[in-house]
Each structure stands twice: as C-alpha cells, then as structure tokens.
Amino acid sequence: MKKIIAIFGICSLIFACTSSEKSESTEDTSTVAVAAPVDTTSTAATASVGSAKGEQLISGSDCLTCHKVDAKLVGPSYIDVANKYAATDANIEMLAGKVIKGGSGSWGEIPMAPHPAISTDDAKEMIKYILSLKTN
C-alpha cells in the first residue's frame, strides 16, 4: 500500500512540475534545484542585493508550483537554498545550470524538471534573487 501511495505521489509531482511547460506562453519557466556546495575560495564577486528582475522572472514561471519563499513544498524553500549557498559567482553559475538542466539528490529524491528554454542570464537573475533571501 505504501508503494502505491508513493508511486501516485511521485507521478502527481512530476505532472504538476512539467504540465506548465506545454503552454504556449512566451515567458520562460524555471524551477530551482541545487547541488553540493561549490568551493568559494575564488575571488568571485558576490550578489549582495537581490535581483528585482529575478523576482519577476520567478513569479512569471512555474517555480512556485514546487517552491515557496519560506516553506518547503516539493522542493526546498528559497530561504533554505539561500542559507545553504553563499552568493558567489561560482554558486550562481552552478545553480543556474541546475535550473536549466534540472537535477536531483541535493534536497531529496524527487528530481527537478529541466528548463532548457530559460536563458543562462535569466537563470542567473533568478538565482541572485533567491540567494538575496539569506537569513543566517
């Protein structure tokens, strides 16, 4: 019985996270997944302030289907992501890659759907906004 419930739950999540990609909207969509922390010993510039453009891109995408600013849904909350990763160029680049290519394993077993239609620059703006939410 537990296996049936688990399979049903996973199928529901996959459907919920991928169904909006079929829309004919011209807006980019994304969901953020994260990987292991990147070495931050480089002299990469930090994103100390949030990106208003990133916030707009997130609200116009399907991100909020699986993520919330302050609470875990299917994926981690944006605050949890911000508290785990420093706002370095290396981390912004790595996390933007996860938005575009998808990923799994860093926050549980449910994979994040890839969003290849999102440009690297837009994905970076989204990540800058998320990392600006750091609380600790």
pTM: 0.63
Q: Is 67 annotated as a binding residue?
A: yes
Q: What is the pLDDT of residue 136?
A: 82
Residue 94 annotated in ligand binding: no
- Chunk the chain into consecutive blocks of 10 residues (it has 136) and report each block's average pLDDT, rounded to whole numbers: 56 49 45 48 40 90 92 94 95 95 88 94 96 91
Q: What is the distance of C-alpha 2 from the center of its chain?
A: 29
Instruction: Say if 63 falls within a structural domain.
Output: yes
CB 13 within 8 A of CB 77: no
Q: What is the pLDDT of residue 106?
A: 84
**Is 136 among the domain residues?**
no
Task: Look at residue 82 in the predicted model and tell me its pLDDT.
Answer: 95
Known binding residue 17? Answer is no
| C-alpha span between 34 and 49 (Å, rounded) | 20
Residue 73 lies in a domain: yes
- Which range marks the domain in which residue 54 is found? 2-131
* Total tally of structural domains belonging to the chain: 1
| Residue 123 forms part of a structural domain | yes
